[in-house]
Amino acid sequence: MKQVTIVVPECRVNMNTIGGAFDILNQANEYWMRSGNDAAIEVRIAGFVSEQRSHSEYLSIHPISIDTINNTDLVLIPAPLSDHENAIKNNQQLIEWIRVQYENGAEVASMCAGGFLLAATGLLNGKRCSIHWNAIKDFKQLFPEVEVAGEKIITAEKGLYTNGGAYSFLNLILYLVEKLFDRTTAVYCSKFYQIDIERHSQSPFTIFDLQKGHDDALIGEAQVYIEEHIDAKISFEQLAKTLAISRRNFDRRFIRATGDTPVAYLQRVKIEAAKKELEKGQKTVFEVMLDVGYADDKAFREVFKKITGLSPTAYRNKYNAVVLN
């Protein structure tokens, strides 16, 4: 029987990641036994803290002492809700415990922002990691040696598993259920909890934040110009000249300030505007394409799918407002 340990950090955590993982894994084990098999796993919730309360104080968890666990086959790290740097600072003992468990043969999976604690072990250096799209910038600053797979729902590499944001941890748990049991059990849990088992990308859920968290006033001015002229054909050569800077320096400063080239930034601004129009459902894909400055239908669809993971039509069908009778 494999031992699964859900650890409880000393900081505010997303209690749903703890409870959800615990419930699904135990349901999988019960289904497995109903099918005539012996129990495959034992799930424990453990930590260096004796109690963990939810941020609104209406729920509490009383983990067993992590010192009582001599060995484990799988470690699950829930998502901290507090400041990530402080969460890392306040959980050095737990971080070291996780690292030692991995070195002793355990696999480790982080749920959502739990990736910050996993990365703090150093185990992800040189490997890929998925993290909530809204936390990618902070994650990259803290862990430049980790390759961020921002579009992925799940990454799996050398016994280390991560997932994207929020409730996509459910997809990670289904993935682990299939590893611990089999595909049939994972499909059963998918149906029982009504989780889409085939989600592979978090790109459709990403909201572009316009990358204004820098102090380069000239690039900020360029960003405003781009955002106000998404329906026009922008010449970055001319824009750089207007801002009294060479094109080469303009590109260099733009990338340093935003993390994107001017062309990539323009594409993301256009596609974000297109997404909002498609969500309203009042215009055709062709009309939306023209509104955001594309004249080539093929080019628009290719860029849209590259950024969102869906075609414009599929995106509109998925997110456009639906009135229920």
Q: Is 32 exposed, middle or buried (0-12, 13-18, 19+ CB in 10 A)?
A: buried
DSSP string, 17-72: HHHHHHHHHHHHHHHHHHTTPPP-EEEEEEESSS-EE-TTSS-EE-PEEGGG----
> In CATH, which of 1.20.120.1200, 1.10.10.60, 3.40.50.450, 2.60.40.10 is domain 217-319?
1.10.10.60
Specify whether the CB–CB gap between 148 and 129 falls below 8 A.
yes
Map residue 220 onto helix, strand or coil. helix
* Fold adopted by 2-205: Rossmann fold (3.40.50)
Pick from 55, 40, 53, 44: nearest CA to 21: 44
Specify whether the CB–CB gap between 134 and 152 falls below 8 A.
no
Q: Where are the domains of the chain?
A: 2-205, 217-319
Q: E strand or H helix at 123, and its extent? A: none
pLDDT digits (tens), the chain, 325 positions? 999 999 999 988 888 899 999 999 999 999 999 999 999 999 999 999 888 876 666 678 899 999 999 899 999 999 998 789 999 999 999 999 999 999 999 999 999 899 999 999 999 999 989 888 788 888 999 999 999 887 778 888 889 999 887 688 898 999 899 899 998 899 899 999 988 776 656 655 555 666 777 889 999 999 989 988 888 889 999 999 999 999 999 999 999 888 889 999 999 899 988 988 888 888 899 999 999 999 899 999 999 998 888 899 988 887 775 544 4
Separation between Cα atoms, residue 179 and residue 107, nearest integer Å: 11
Please state the pTM of the whole predicted model: 0.67
Map residue 292 onto helix, strand or coil. coil
